[in-house]
Amino acid sequence: MEKPGTPSSEQSDKAKKYDRQLRLWGDHGQSALECAHICLINASASGTETLKSLVLPGIGAITIIDDVKVTPRDVGNNFFVDSDSIGRPRGEVALHLLLELNPDVRGTFVDQPLDEILDNQPDFFTPYTVVIVTCLPESTLLALSKVLWDASVPLLIVRSYGMIGYIRVQIEEHTVVESHPDSEMPDLRLDRPFSALQKYMDSLDLDTMDNKEHSHVPYVVILYKSLQEWNSQNGEPPKNYKEKKAFIEMVKKGMRERKNVEPEENFEEAIKAVNTSLVPTSIPSGIQSILNVAASITPSPTTKPFWIMARALHEFVTSEGRGVLPVRGTIPDMTADSEKYIKIQNL
Amino acid sequence: MATHVTGILDENLRNSVKSAKILVVGAGGIGCELLKNLVLTGFEDIELIDLDTIDISNLNRQFLFQKVHVGRSKSEVARESALRFNPQANIVAYHDSITKPTYGVPFFKKFTLVMNALDNRAARNHVNRMCLAAGVPLVESGTAGYLGQVTVIKKGVTECYECQPKPAQKTFPGCTIRNTPSEPIHCIVWAKHLFNQLFGEVDPDEDVSPDAADPEQVGDAGQAALEAEANDEGNVNRVSTRGWATSHNYDAKKLFGKLFYDDIMYLLSMDKLWEKRRKPTPLQWDKLPDADGVVEGEELIQDQRPWTISQCYDVFAAAVGSLYKKLQGSGEDLVWDKDDKDSMDFVTACANIRAHIFGIPQKSRFDVKSMAGNIIPAIATTNAVIAGLIVLESIKILQGRLNDCKTVYLNRRPNFKNWLLVPCVLVKPNPKCYVCSEKPEICVRLNVEKTTVRTLEERILKASLNMVAPDVEIVNNRGTILISSEEGETEENNDKLLKDFDIIDGTQLNCDDFLQNYTLTLNIIHSEKLEEGVEFEVLGNPEELKKAQEEQAKKDAESAVANNEGASVSTVMENDDLVCLDDEEPKKRKVEEESPQPAKKMRAESPDIIMI
């Protein structure tokens, strides 16, 4: 133990164990994993292989449904049954060896034919996050898929045969709320500035600034000013390559040239950003179609959080948003003095 | 055992699987999955080598290991766990480095096939050369997060691992690190250098104090700073950081004052540096910006959130204390290790304090660990897919179908053909390869008046060109031996300069590595105009070099026109069917043209099918 008062920054054992994957899917992904309960039907080789890759990163819980006994054939192709276990329930043996991989994972095993469960316990599958099924005859699979479809539980059908195999996914709807987009285009609203942004931008006068201040004006301001000028001449923002090139020339003209001093960095940034920053603000078609669906939803206690938020977003867009999405609020790095950068950040 | 393969592999193949002698290099993420697949497929004669021991951060994917095994040899535990499945298999485990002379060409010649399951380029290069020398086919693989790749290497038939030059690791100019950091990584590199200066092996190239010879700082002001320094210390040759710390008993407050106040004040005196930059703000340990806001003794130090500056100071003081104790206790230099708590705390705290001083965003310990430790994310799923592909390629080799072997890439998302796994034809060897060609040759640009024989051996031949124990002879009438791999034979040459041996522009050196059975002709290009902080540049094959220079000239002319379309290019790359590993530059590969017919039909009927 550390002495009291000494700062302790040691990662917990769990954070250490999961370090390499947290760097891939973050805490957010990890908690989604840890809240999940997976049901596997039939502890075949492909079934246990699938569970292995879920148990290792720390899935919350697993349940194995299997009513057969271990045969010599299983021992030959399934890494998660051993030769001492021939004749014992296959699900139990596999569960035991799989849970050895990760003490954080809970597991249960059901030694009951699937047909019986489907007939007698129609709600059996409702609690599961995902059901994975391997080696199931078609008639039972059809019955199972209907039950899961009605219960909105995703079903993964896995089949392998020698050198070939397939995976099928049955899922009615899958909603993800993830606030970290993979690729980011800056959301600067230069074409449709909101009033606070407009007011701030208009309050700055580039011409009266001294050289130091001038070379530290954030490039968004430069682009905004140039765009105002452009629009007053052309009526609408530059659209194609040719117009953008002309626009760049206009930005260049605003640069102050001084002897023995390198060109102003903020203006160079502005020129580089012309291509990505002047994209007209619009609602991507994918999001628009979600909003269209959301428009017809009446929120109820069973509505998924995703749809409640989509509905709220729809309300925003149609009223105070004036037809566009809320501003993302993050701004890219730029050459600027701290005061102006922070001011823009706070707008 | 492995009874199920009866219906899948024909009898001949089952026999060749059973009798094949396999070397698996690496018992980590890929190695564990691979060993499982090998015993399940019916391989019974396997040798496994890994120099590593089991760490807790392995357990999320290296499923042959459990918590009770932490600290034990990876290869030995992997062997035990695999034998539990098939007690009849004959598995030999070595807890050792594959680059040792014990594992020479005769050792490699024993095997039908070698499978790499490695995580670093140096070992991959070495095994590549050993397999070329022994004429044994090599299945090479790698993973990074969701991405993976498998390929087959056979001397004379395919590209070798080193046929395409790989970009060197990114380095930063000394002045950026010492005087004018502008990104978090600059502060992290500085903090790691500082660790070595204070506790580790001192490397003169890793100086952390202000660099008065910054080319940006010209004129009188710099001179004034130098003189001021001379007055303070009584000597322009300043005391080394280590010496200073020792004379002050590694007192955390004094160290803090020197590193984050005195040295910063000194930098401020170099006023030319700050004409166009934000000036750094020196810090004093008893006047830290957030000290008032933090409740005394609060232990809310988190891994994933940046610390406050006063928390940084507390961590700094504690880490310096315990590292100093370790240094005194062991009497040996400490080695920086991302998994050592004190090492990691020290670097996080120092990097963040320095970042604060220079107005650079601070990073959490979690993020600093990623950057300082060069951590590549890893999960079981990717390794399992890649290990499966290794076996499939290996089976083709055992059947003598080398022509059917492929390089296979595992992508993050399906490509334009809806393929997640993309097979590509194997590329023919590069006739100018400095490793596998008939007469390997390479050019190195350096300054013969500044480069020592030691630098040639340690930095160029070993670190950069991956030789293990080179012998070097100058190609002249006398056949002067410059470096001998026999201990004690040429040690007196180490500190001499290349020019002392009449090495000039155009001199050829004959470099031979007995273990790798590899001879390389090294062409010296003398140059006095190397970039700041660069000792040498490996330029590649002489003929290719000329071609590359011509192309570069052409490109420069073109890029002047198309410069401002750059932003859209990077978004296209993401969906492309290529994978880069080891931070390699993405390289366009020829995708397998003859796609299986059924795949095309299926795609036309149902766009939902993804080929894997």
pLDDT of B153 above 90: yes
pLDDT tens digits for range A267-277: 888 888 777 77
Cα separation, A327 vs A345, whole angstroms? 12
Select from B1, B36, B60 the Cβ nearest to the Cβ of A76.
B1
pLDDT band of A131, cuts 50, 70, 90: very high
Contact assignment for B301 to A7 by CB distance below 8 Å = yes
Contact assignment for B57 to A7 by CB distance below 8 Å = no
- pLDDT, averaged across chain B: 83
The C-alpha of A347 sits at a distance from chain B's nearest C-alpha, in angstroms, of: 20
pLDDT of B564 above 50: no
Q: Tell me which chain A residues have a C-beta less than 8 angstroms from the C-beta of B365.
A: 9
Average pLDDT over residues B313-335: 91
Q: Which has the closest alpha carbon to A201: A215, A211, A191, A210?
A: A191
Average pLDDT over residues B433-455: 92
pLDDT at B569: 27
pLDDT tens digits for range A98-124: 999 999 999 999 999 999 999 999 899
| Residue A240: closest C-alpha in chain B | B565
- pLDDT, averaged across chain A: 84
pLDDT at B217: 66
- Percent of chain B scoring above 90 in pLDDT: 56
pLDDT at A180: 60
| Residue B279: closest C-alpha in chain A | A337
pLDDT tens digits for range B532-561: 667 888 887 777 666 666 666 665 554 433
Contact assignment for B56 to A262 by CB distance below 8 Å = no
**Residue B407 near residue B423, CB atoms below 8 Å:** yes
Integer-rounded Cα radius of gyration of chain A: 30
Beta bridge partners of B540: B443
**Residue B430 near residue B159, CB atoms below 8 Å:** yes
**Amino acid found at A215:** S
Average pLDDT over residues B448-470: 91
Q: Given the DSSP bridges, would you call strands A164-170 and B21-25 parallel, antiparallel or unpaired?
A: unpaired
**Chain A, chain B: beta-carbon pairs less than 8 Å apart:** 131
Could you give the count of Cα atoms lying within 13 Å of B403 in the half-sphere of its Cβ? Answer: 0
Exposure of B296 by Cβ count < 10 A (0-12 exposed, 13-18 middle, 19+ buried)? exposed
The full length of chain A comes to: 347
Exposure of A97 by Cβ count < 10 A (0-12 exposed, 13-18 middle, 19+ buried)? buried
Contact assignment for B567 to A162 by CB distance below 8 Å = no
Contact assignment for A7 to B318 by CB distance below 8 Å = yes
| Residue A163: closest C-alpha in chain B | B8
DSSP string, A52-116: HHHHTTT-SEEEEE--PBP-HHHHHH-TTS-GGGTTSBHHHHHHHHHHTT-TT-EEEEE-S-HHH
pLDDT band of B257, cuts 50, 70, 90: very high
* Better pLDDT: B562 or A333: A333
Q: Does B8 touch chain A (CB under 8 A)?
A: yes
The C-alpha of B324 sits at a distance from chain A's nearest C-alpha, in angstroms, of: 16
| Residue A49: closest C-alpha in chain B | B384
- Percent of chain A scoring above 90 in pLDDT: 37
Task: Give kind and range of the element (H or E) at residue B539.
Answer: strand B536-540
Contact assignment for A275 to B345 by CB distance below 8 Å = no
Contact assignment for A7 to B315 by CB distance below 8 Å = yes
Average pLDDT over residues B121-129: 95
pLDDT tens digits for range B385-435: 999 999 999 999 999 999 999 999 999 888 888 899 999 999 999 999 999
pLDDT at B532: 67
Strands in B38-96 per DSSP E: 45-49, 90-94
pLDDT of B2 above 60: no
Cα separation, A146 vs B304, whole angstroms? 44
The C-alpha of B393 sits at a distance from chain A's nearest C-alpha, in angstroms, of: 13
- Percent of chain B scoring above 70 in pLDDT: 81
Average pLDDT over residues A186-215: 79
Average pLDDT over residues A239-257: 81
pLDDT at A295: 82
pLDDT of B208 above 80: yes
DSSP string, B236-293: SSPPPHHHHHHHTTT-HHHHHHIIIIIHHHHHHH-GGGGSSSPPP----GGG-TTGGG
pLDDT at A6: 42
pLDDT at B511: 95
Cα separation, B169 vs B374, whole angstroms? 11
Per domain, the residue ranges of chain B are: 3-168+377-425, 179-373, 441-540
pLDDT of A137 above 80: yes
CATH T-level topology, domain B3-168+377-425: Rossmann fold (3.40.50)
Q: Which of B303, B371, B568 to mutate to test the interface with A (most CBs of A within 10 A)?
A: B303
User: Known binder of ligand: residue B405?
Assistant: no
Contact assignment for A20 to B375 by CB distance below 8 Å = yes
Q: Which two tokens stand for residue A16?
A: 């250490």
Average pLDDT over residues B324-344: 89
Is the CA virtual torsion A115, A117, A119, A122 positive or negative? negative
Cα separation, B553 vs B108, whole angstroms? 44
The C-alpha of B295 sits at a distance from chain A's nearest C-alpha, in angstroms, of: 11
pLDDT tens digits for range A282-337: 787 788 888 888 888 887 777 777 888 888 888 888 877 777 777 776 677 677 77
The C-alpha of A320 sits at a distance from chain B's nearest C-alpha, in angstroms, of: 32
Which phi and psi (to 5°) does residue A230 adopt? -60, -50
pLDDT at B555: 57
Could you give the count of Cα atoms lying within 13 Å of B354 in the half-sphere of its Cβ? Answer: 32
Q: Tell me which chain A residues have a C-beta less than 8 angstroms from the C-beta of B375.
A: 19-20, 23
Question: Edge-to-edge strand order for the sheet containing A164-170?
Answer: A106-110, A61-65, A37-41, A130-134, A155-161, A164-170
Q: Tell me which chain A residues have a C-beta less than 8 angstroms from the C-beta of B311.
A: 7
Select from B67, B303, B307 the Cβ nearest to the Cβ of A11.
B303
Q: What domains sit in chain A, N to C, each tagged with a CATH number? A: 14-170 (3.40.50.720), 195-282+325-346 (no CATH), 285-318 (no CATH)
The stretches of chain A forming alpha helices (DSSP H) are 13-17, 19-34, 45-55, 72-77, 90-99, 114-120, 138-151, 195-203, 211-214, 219-234, 241-253, 265-277, 285-295, 305-318, 338-346
pLDDT of A179 above 70: no
Contact assignment for A79 to B85 by CB distance below 8 Å = yes
The C-alpha of A8 sits at a distance from chain B's nearest C-alpha, in angstroms, of: 6
**Residue A25 near residue A70, CB atoms below 8 Å:** no
pLDDT band of A32, cuts 50, 70, 90: very high
User: What 3-state DSSP class applies to B93?
Assistant: strand
User: Known binder of ligand: residue B58?
Assistant: yes
**Residue B588 Cα to chain centre, angstroms:** 22
**Amino acid found at B149:** Q
The full length of chain B comes to: 612
pLDDT of B222 above 60: no
pLDDT at B399: 95
Q: Architecture of B179-373 per CATH?
A: Orthogonal Bundle (1.10)
Q: Which two tokens stand for residue B563?
A: 């410069």
The CATH number that domain B441-540 falls under is 3.10.290.20
User: Known binder of ligand: residue B252?
Assistant: no
User: Known binder of ligand: residue B329?
Assistant: no
Cα separation, B581 vs A197, whole angstroms? 43
| Residue A268: closest C-alpha in chain B | B564
Contact assignment for A73 to B4 by CB distance below 8 Å = yes
pLDDT at B4: 62
pLDDT tens digits for range A214-241: 888 888 888 888 888 888 888 778 878 8
pLDDT at A59: 97
pLDDT at B25: 97
pLDDT at B441: 92
pLDDT at B296: 44
pLDDT at B301: 58
Contact assignment for A23 to B370 by CB distance below 8 Å = yes
User: Known binder of ligand: residue B98?
Assistant: yes
pLDDT of B602 above 50: no
Q: Which has the closest alpha carbon to A276: A232, A331, A204?
A: A331
Q: Tell me which chain B residues have a C-beta less than 8 angstroms from the C-beta of A72.
A: 3
pLDDT tens digits for range B394-405: 999 999 999 999
pLDDT of B86 above 50: yes
pLDDT tens digits for range A81-90: 988 899 999 9
pLDDT at B553: 62
- Check if the interface score ipTM surpasses 0.85: no
Contact assignment for B3 to A77 by CB distance below 8 Å = yes
- A-facing residues of B in 529-588 (CB < 8 A) are 564-568, 571, 574
pLDDT at A127: 94
Q: Could you tell me which residues come within 8 angstroms of residue B437 by beta carbon, excluding any fewer than 6 positions away?
A: B429, B430, B431
Could you give the count of Cα atoms lying within 13 Å of B519 in the half-sphere of its Cβ? Answer: 6
Average pLDDT over residues B278-292: 81
User: Known binder of ligand: residue B119?
Assistant: yes
pLDDT at A262: 72
Q: Tell me which chain A residues have a C-beta less than 8 angstroms from the C-beta of B566.
A: 272, 275
Give the catalytic positions of B in this structure: 175
Q: Does B67 touch chain A (CB under 8 A)?
A: yes
pLDDT of A279 above 70: yes
pLDDT tens digits for range B480-525: 899 999 888 888 999 999 999 999 999 999 999 999 999 999 999 9
Select from A6, A24, A100 the Cβ nearest to the Cβ of B377.
A24
pLDDT of B193 above 70: yes
User: What 3-state DSSP class applies to A157?
Assistant: strand
- Planar angle of CA B195, B199, B204, nearest 5 degrees: 70
Select from A22, A56, A183 the Cβ nearest to the Cβ of B380.
A56
